[in-house]
Structure 1
Amino acid sequence: MNGFLILLDVALLALSGYYLFWQSRIDFRASYSTFQLFMAVVLGFWFLTTGIANIWYIVFIAAFITLTVMSGSTGLTPTRLINVGIFARVVPYTKLVGVTLTPLTLPNGQSLVVGVFGISPRRYIRLTFRSDLQTLFNVLRPRVPEAIEIKIQQVQ
């Protein structure tokens, strides 16, 4: 059992390093997914009640909770889109099939843009940016390949 936990610990720590590398490259941030923080707290309390004192299990729990908290950070890097989640969250712009941007104005006057990034005919990534439409479009257009259309959708 310890051998399996050690292998799992190494894998989670390597994944943490990989995501930390890509998160450090984010230059246009999207909103943080607070659900991930909620899940980390729930998982933390649940794992604390197990009462297991094995050091490899404790390292596994710490790495898993850290990954859960890290997975809430999203945004755009110069070459990739960073998505919410623990797995399949670093997506190159070349894998996109379409982008739809929807600008919204909140009642308090703040501007938001909801970006829906298609990565296959039935798979989408939704990110919310606290930005205006023109700024986000100016950041995306040089990064996304010319063959991929960026649609602007207005809410009526």
Structure 2
Amino acid sequence: MSGQYEVGSIVEGKVTGIKPFGAFVALDEKKQGLVHISHIAHGYVKDINDNLSVGDVVKVKVLSVDEASGKISLSIKETQPKPERPERPRQSTGSGGGGGGAAKRSGGSQQQSQPQGFNTLEDKLKDWLKQSNEIQADLNKRIKK
């Protein structure tokens, strides 16, 4: 592989520079590529320096090679296994969930079965309107003084 890298191949390289948008990785004496910040790790990367340092030896996957410009796009995260997401808890089958807000409007008993602390957008809107009216009334009182 002297100078020619295939898309999809995984190679080792050395981090030669770090910029806010990505890290430059030397693949050999003559070729280097860029690992964009979005391909550093699975998940959000705010600062590349938290994950990489100049001189680090890393495994990278070749994403693309532009023959005309010689630019090579690389990914570190695609050489690592994707972290498993924790399984979301399933809704119980007896609640009749998925009705949007219809169950709330039709009967009061359904509303009480919701977990405490959970507010629908409709409830929040009522609270915001109430707060807004209170603030407006307070402002009106100050203006009249």
TM over 0.5: no
Structure with the larger RCO, 1 or 2 (CA within 8 Å, 6+ apart): 1
**TM-score (normalizing by structure 2):** 0.20
Q: TM-score scaled by structure 1?
A: 0.18
